[in-house]
Amino acid sequence: IKAAMAIKVLGTTMESVEKVGVELEKIIRKVPVVDPLTVSAERTVAKPYLIITPDDEKMARYALSRSALMAHVELAVGGKQATTVIEKRERIPVRVRFMRDYRDSILALEELSVPVGKGQVVPLKSLAHIRYERGPQVIKSEESFVTLAVTFDGKKDFSRVRVMEAVLATIDKAQKNKSLVLPHSVTLKPAGSYENHLRAARTLKVIVPLALIIIFLLIYLQFHSVAVTLIIFSGVAVAWAGGFMMIWLYGQSWFMDFSLMGVNMRELLHIQPLNLSVAVWVGFLALFGIATDDGVVMATYLGQLFKKERPTVAQIRQTTIKAGKMRVRACLMTTATTLLALLPILTSRGRGADVMGPMAVPLFGGMALELFTMLVVPVLYSLYQESRLHLHHLSLRIQQHH
């Protein structure tokens, strides 16, 4: 299906499928989130077919076979290739058939002369029945069923997933109240981008948790501590919040509503409301992989400084502040390179921009807010070291008591 959204109608006959398609067209037009001008059901039964049915009883009078009669009709109406003319590299087939005057109407075909032997000829109407019959322009099939599509699109500011879910709910309601009755052999199936969305959603349900688990394991293999790993992993939560904040800002009319050097920032960055599409979730997936970079940089240096035992809480806090100051520049450079690399994607136009743009928005927002991990990770790390110190003192007191 080339359309963004469609409902496939599958059945055994063209007539039943087209009838259901027309009824669906009327129902879908009434859905509030659907643009009624975009609803269209394919019309298949509209093309005239010339049907020539041989009469066996009449042909028997002239000892004429069906194959001989149909071969003559084929030559007269459709023609046969007699030879091929070769001109340099071109090969042009030459077909032979009767002149148009002898085959351009039923009356002309009825008078078409058919040889029956011994130099005798009889008109075609004496040997066969000729008529026109309406038939399909094209026959589409899927899963051994005849297929027809009812295409539509949603109104502005409504996601395609929401539009399709509303359409499916309306169709289900129509079937329950008997305003839409499907023949026994007809079934309905959603298609278009919604079908791709369902397929991608099933994949993301596995990929996103798996990616988070792998990131957690890689950090754990570096630090060999669940507590430190959780502290660094807090960057994912901070970045997650930043991604959703940026998506929310993109839906606000006042966000970046100013001009710089004669260029409107909203137009430059293509700021418009975003839906949680597959591209956006892929952007979040990429964000998870780089959201822990600053935390790893900060925690690595803190771990190096805390290799020596710190006997007091004051010394722990002093060491934490020292490590934070020493690694601010490295964290800023790590985040800045990512943000600068995303600017060309946010401002790009042309092919692929409609996918890459929504993918870069949560990345940009997440990495911008992820800078707060420079504050979050040292504070949590200091809290972790102080807790270890308190537990150590508590264990010593218990030992002395015993």
- Give the residue-averaged pLDDT of 337-357: 86
161-195 b/e with 16+ CB inside 10 Å = b?
Answer: bebbebbeebbeebeeeeebebeeebebebbbbbb
Nearest residue to 283 (alpha-carbon basis) of 335, 332, 329, 242: 242
Q: What is the pLDDT of residue 309?
A: 59
- Give the residue-averaged pLDDT of 138-147: 86
- Give the residue-averaged pLDDT of 185-214: 87
Residue 195 has pLDDT above 90, yes or no: no
Q: What pTM does this model have?
A: 0.66
Residue 140 has pLDDT above 70, yes or no: yes
pLDDT tier, 397 (very low <50, low <70, confident <90, very high otherwise)? confident
Residue 131 has pLDDT above 70, yes or no: yes
Q: What is the pLDDT of residue 393?
A: 79
Contacts of 370 (CB under 8 A, 6+ apart): 235, 238, 239, 242, 291, 294, 335
Q: Are 369 and 240 in contact (CB under 8 A)?
A: no
Q: What is the pLDDT of residue 354?
A: 80
159-165 long-range contacts, Cβ below 8 Å, gap at least 24?
A: 159/275, 159/276, 159/277, 160/4, 160/5, 160/192, 160/193, 160/194, 160/197, 160/275, 161/194, 161/197, 161/275, 162/33, 162/275, 163/5, 163/31, 163/33, 163/34, 164/5, 164/190, 164/192, 164/194
Residue 75 has pLDDT above 90, yes or no: no
Nearest residue to 102 (alpha-carbon basis) of 79, 128, 71: 79
For residue 329, give the amino acid letter: R
Tokens of 100: 């148009």
- Give the residue-averaged pLDDT of 192-212: 85
Tokens of 362: 């949560």
Q: Are 147 and 9 in contact (CB under 8 A)?
A: yes
- Give the residue-averaged pLDDT of 38-64: 86
Gap between the Cα atoms of 380 and 372, Å rounded: 12
Q: What is the pLDDT of residue 316?
A: 86
Gap between the Cα atoms of 372 and 370, Å rounded: 5
Tokens of 294: 């600053």
Q: What is the pLDDT of residue 79?
A: 87
- Give the residue-averaged pLDDT of 173-177: 92
- Give the residue-averaged pLDDT of 246-254: 91
Gap between the Cα atoms of 398 and 387, Å rounded: 16
Q: What is the pLDDT of residue 306?
A: 82
Residue 101 has pLDDT above 80, yes or no: yes
Q: Are 28 and 204 in contact (CB under 8 A)?
A: no
